[in-house]
Structure 1
């Protein structure tokens, strides 16, 4: 390698000229992914795809999967149907596949309700609704099992990553500390045991 091959130091002015918007100058317009999300007043740029009836089904099913308590609101109260509608309506992989699973599964819930009880799921009493949930939660049939697993994943994931769900798992977020308490003796014992198993 000759001295001509070595990169010479460059000034900040040169860097600013060559790199605009994160793209070397002369290489076209950068695509990127857009601006940072607005988490204060969020807005979804895609249309929602679930019907009001499907959203109502999700609200009731969500409350059966993850019942509320005196201290923590039910998923329907914190807007789980809105969250899932937004999720399955998103145009990114694998969201369209999730939309198919959810919509097909909701149809199964209503069809089975009518077959067993002569009424849609929303018109059933709590005991009969739970019977339908036990039916879809059985791994005996792949389609309804896939629906139940996906719905449960979205209900639990959506709930425990929300302002309503954080307190239920003791998550306080980034908060200022006057002192760092360090690792507890119990945690140290577990770490030491694992390190011994690894021969470290």
Structure 2
């Protein structure tokens, strides 16, 4: 089974249980913007929000936690976790870095583990290959990731890297599969209208029930599905 399919099944299985992952700004310019992390000017999720919540959301979406260099590293790791597969885009192309940046500002407990983990990855790359992780070859990058991606098989010496990568993987998967691209990958349709053609006949027969002709004509007949039911002939 390929990695993307495994992650897809993981997300589909955990969605029903309400999976939820548990800001000082280090911006690169005076506007608080970091290259690679676009921010929305307006909050699209403003329905049902209090003025205080909207103000806080606005502050978060106009700020950044990660530097440009850190965003570049996050994008490389994200694409190792969820690469493009020919049909769907890689994680970095779906706003995953923006999502993780928001999470670091919204849940400040992420800040030290994530920034420390990114530094750990770069330190390991410099120690092994004398270069930053983003400058390492694909083979060199995978060599490091393989040492921290499998918690039960990992060398205890890599415990810090294992903890970081597990957190990063969770955030990447959550960010990707809550994006439009990720939902399409899952085949998630959301609340879409469909056609109701009544209770199955075998169920009606089991309980000795049947629709009267008026109900069949006005409620079950799909040619009249857009007409409003007239209940004047029924007693309540």
Scaled by the length of structure 2, the TM-score of the pair is: 0.56
Shift of 1:44: 4.0
CA contact (8 A) 1:109 1:136 kept: no
Distance in 1, matches of 2:198 and 2:119, equals 52
Per the alignment, residue 99 of structure 1 pairs with: 111
Distance in 1, matches of 2:68 and 2:198, equals 49
1:38-83 per-position Cα deviation (integer Å, ceiling 9, x unaligned): 8xxxx64222111111110000000001111111110011121111
Per the alignment, residue 122 of structure 1 pairs with: 134
Per the alignment, residue 87 of structure 2 pairs with: 71
Distance in 1, matches of 2:115 and 2:199, equals 48
Matched residues, number: 144
Shift in alpha-carbon separation, 1:180–1:53, aligned structure 2, 3 A = farther
Shift in alpha-carbon separation, 1:178–1:104, aligned structure 2, 3 A = same
Superposition CA RMSD, Å: 2.6
1:12-60 per-position Cα deviation (integer Å, ceiling 9, x unaligned): xxxxxxxxxxxxxxxxxxxx9625988xxxx642221111111100000
Shift in alpha-carbon separation, 1:181–1:96, aligned structure 2, 3 A = farther
Q: SS of the residue aligned with 1:165?
A: helix
Shift in alpha-carbon separation, 1:170–1:89, aligned structure 2, 3 A = same
List runs of 5+ in structure 2 lacking aligned partners: 1-47, 201-236
Per the alignment, residue 59 of structure 2 pairs with: 45
Distance in 1, matches of 2:197 and 2:80, equals 40
List runs of 5+ in structure 1 lacking aligned partners: 1-31, 184-200
